[in-house]
Structure 1
Amino acid sequence: MQLKLKRNRYSDWSVAGLRTIAGIGFIVHGWAKISRGTAGFEKLLLQIHTPYAHFMSILVPYLELIGGMLLILGFLTRIISTALIVVMLTAMFTIHIRYGFSTIQTTGLNTDGPIFGPPGYEINLLYIGILAFLLINGAGRVSADSGIKRGSA
């Protein structure tokens, strides 16, 4: 069952905005892992006893990078949202949950300003919320998915 949202003239663009914000976030996170080499990410995965750590250290950053691009385009949105929800849940329960809820944790202050601790799971929940919305409702009218659907109808 698909949730029917009340539409106005901004509805289509608001869904595109959500896709774009989430997409940029995933691109930045994926690129950060790829640009430094995936060996560091692999060490983290080994430390938390991730099965197939070498394979996952390659798969996850490219899933984030390419998945972020697909979200922005609104292409294969429900499929990529599902995959990225799995990534976010895994990160949340294996890494972030031990640091509590807040993404911004000030642990001290020096002459340059605040010192921040490790992020909590707040950001994971925000991404999961956006991805769940896209999974349930689709990419919206301003998307490649919609264009393909209109073209095949």
Structure 2
Amino acid sequence: MRKEWAGYAPVVLRVMLAIGFLYHGLPKFGGAGHQQFQGNLQAMGFPAPALLSWVGAVVEVGGALALLAGAFTTIASLLLLLEMLVAIIKVHGPNGFSFMHITGMTPQGPQFGMPGYEVNLLYMAMLLALALGGAGKWSVDERRASRLGQPLTM
């Protein structure tokens, strides 16, 4: 790949991550989705589930929007990475690696349980790449860095 195109690779990561986090984060902002998320946190033994349900929603949606804009990419990536780590430890880890956790078979087909941590690891790898390498082209961070004359990466 040519070096002049390398700055566009992070754009693909930013867009795909933003889609994923918005898809899972937006329902946590209100109604039944928020109540279910808060109930799940309480059932898993998290302290202050009412507060953490809002923190989780804000991190996911705010982080997704920041990634989409390429603004504060390192901070957003690290916050989302931390959330993925918590999800692995508290939710997906016990289910094994595979995102398809088949718990049994019936005449109608396979029965699925909670997914494993495979997708979380993929998200974490993409987030780490952005945290270390920066937002790339078409980003607020790039524009700000060009004005300051220095990159905004770790």
TM normalised by structure 2 equals 0.86
**Hey, what's the Cα distance between the residues in 2 that align with 1:26 and 1:80?**
12
**Hey, what's the Cα distance between the residues in 2 that align with 1:10 and 1:106?**
41
The structure in which a higher percent of residues are helix is 2
Deviation at 1:48, TM superposition (A): 1.5
The Cα offsets for residues 99-130 of structure 1, whole Å up to 9 and x where unpaired, read as 1000023443655x654321000111011101
Q: Is the 8 A contact 2:27 2:34 kept in 1?
A: no
User: Runs ≥4 in structure 1, deviation > 6 angstroms?
Assistant: none
**Hey, what's the Cα distance between the residues in 2 that align with 1:18 and 1:27?**
14
**Hey, what's the Cα distance between the residues in 1 that align with 2:148 and 2:3?**
26
Counterpart in the other structure of 1:3: none
Q: Does 1:23 align with 2:18?
A: yes
Question: Residue 43 of structure 2: which of 44, 47, 52 is its match?
Answer: 47
Counterpart in the other structure of 2:125: 129
Q: Please list every run of 5 or more consecutive structure 2 residues that lacks an aligned counterpart in the other structure.
A: 150-154
Deviation at 1:21, TM superposition (A): 0.5
Instruction: Work out the number of aligned pairs and report it.
Output: 147
Counterpart in the other structure of 2:79: 83
Counterpart in the other structure of 2:134: 138
TM normalised by structure 1 equals 0.86
- What amino acid maps onto 1:73 in structure 2? A
Question: Residue 57 of structure 2: which of 47, 56, 61 is its match?
Answer: 61
Q: Please list every run of 5 or more consecutive structure 1 residues that lacks an aligned counterpart in the other structure.
A: 1-5
- Aligned-residue sequence identity (percent) comes to 33
The Cα offsets for residues 118-152 of structure 1, whole Å up to 9 and x where unpaired, read as 10001110111011111111111331101111123
Question: Residue 32 of structure 1: which of 18, 21, 27 is its match?
Answer: 27
**Hey, what's the Cα distance between the residues in 1 that align with 2:107 and 2:68?**
39
